[in-house]
Amino acid sequence: MSLWTSAEIAAATDGAASSDFVVSGVTFDSREVGPGDLFIALSGEATDGHRYLDQAFARGAAGAIVSEPCAHPHVRVADTMAALEALGRAGRDRSAARIVGVTGSVGKTGTKEALFAALDRNDPGCAHRSVKSYNNHTGVPLSLARMPRDARFGIFEMGMNHAGELAALTRMVRPHVAIVTAIAPAHAAYFTGEEAIADAKGEIFQGLEPGGFAIVPQDSPHRDRLVSAAAPHAARVATFGIGDGADIRALETMPSIAGGSFVSARLGTRELTFTVRQPGAHWVSNALAIIGAVDAVGGDLALAGLALADMGGLPGRGQRFVTPVDGGTAVVIDESYNANPSSMRATLAVLGQMDANRRIAVLGEMRELGEGSDAYHAALSEPIVAARVELAILVGEAMAALGQALEKRVEFVHVADAATARDRLMAALAPGDAVLIKGSNAVGLSGVVAALAGGGAAAGSGSHG
């Protein structure tokens, strides 16, 4: 079944088609173009997608959206960014899928991926989700435009770093179920405090469809604020968590043999048990929100439980692997994609639970924390000590405050960049070690992960049209 015809694209974007064509995919990155795709030539400050039209068609594009003359099959519009948004809205308008929107300071991508796994197992091939972390003003409409016309379920991640951004995204997604995973001081530099962050995350409820369902964290100090944000837009608000009073509650949790958690939970008047393969209390919390959303869209809870039991870690977000070291091996936890104070504490706790000869933490600075940056970094000393970390490799200028807090408590080295951290880690690593690698994405700790995985230093990232 085609994703879009040229006539449908032209109607959605108020454009003019040069000829009849059919596309099976959509992208705005010429490096990702595959046979049959629609290439949207976005124009930005750094580059102009029109420069990559020949490259896109050489890779098999079936058509393009352009705002300049084009020798290839195309739909010409006045503004290609506006056309992307319009195509995303059209993708949402034509869909009969049950839609789940996910936001939060931590856990968005993992929750989105687990929801997809659960709903895809419910109806194989009929679930759709945003890929990677396509959660912003370009990623969300692209993900909507990619949604198959016969999809039964759609799961969309939405992020923000300024007030008002989520309101615009959620009105495009129009979810039937909206989840806030957790509130933490991510992007704190752009907000006056956690209350303001909670308010910005609560904007997701503004796009709920009539009869919509809001799912908020019971154990958050901002629970009441989120409930109040949801109340004008949701027909029902449910809380999830481990604490008393949650509508979706973990009654009991036990470590599983595989390192995750065995959970007994109550969902309304029902009780169920399931295993979460991913370790850590934060994943138990995520799982409770997930089963609530699966139930709300009519999914099978037993199949959701199987999906949670099978789901491994994602690259950059908890994936584990074994790396050879001097005739033995070490275990690596790849959390290199991002970091804020809450996620740092959660993953350090996971490291502390590991059975290892020695625990090493390679921690990159946390960006966008504003005036409270030093205090947030210094406060990581307590979870590091609690995790029984024997060596901490601190990366980036902002880690100086943590180094001061760790003096005479934990052995540490403070380095300027990821390349130096990689060299120091390689020199120190020994068989039986467990290594956590975590920091803000811009620090570049993915290069350390790549070296340990045998891929050498990670290639730098760029952007094409």
Q: Where are the domains of the chain?
A: 4-80, 95-310, 319-452
Residues 80-118: pLDDT tens digits?
999 999 999 999 999 999 999 999 999 999 999 999 999
| Maximum Cα–Cα distance across the chain | 71
Which of the following CATH numbers is that of domain 95-310: 3.40.1190.10, 3.90.79.10, 3.40.50.2300, 3.90.1580.10?
3.40.1190.10
**What confidence score (pLDDT) does residue 1 get?**
67
**What confidence score (pLDDT) does residue 287 get?**
97
**What confidence score (pLDDT) does residue 313 get?**
86
State mean pLDDT over 434-457: 87
State mean pLDDT over 272-300: 96
Confidence of residue 214 (pLDDT cuts 50, 70, 90): very high
Question: Class of 319-452 per CATH?
Answer: alpha beta
Specify the range with the lowest mean pLDDT, choosing from 193-197, 358-362, 408-412, 453-457: 453-457
Q: Are 292 and 95 in contact (CB under 8 A)?
A: no
Residue 220 has pLDDT above 70, yes or no: yes
Confidence of residue 464 (pLDDT cuts 50, 70, 90): very low
Residues 114-159: pLDDT tens digits?
999 999 999 999 999 998 878 999 999 999 999 999 999 999 999 9
State mean pLDDT over 176-203: 91
Instruction: Give percent of the chain above pLDDT 70.
Output: 97
Residues 348-366: pLDDT tens digits?
999 999 999 999 999 999 9
Q: Phi-psi bin for 80: left (phi > 0), alpha (psi -120 to 50), beta?
A: alpha
Amino acid at site 418: A
Cα–Cα dist 120/23, whole Å? 23
CATH of domain 4-80: 3.40.1390.10
Domains 4-80 and 95-310 share a fold: no
State mean pLDDT over 300-325: 93
Count CA atoms within 13 Å of residue 140 on its CB side: 28
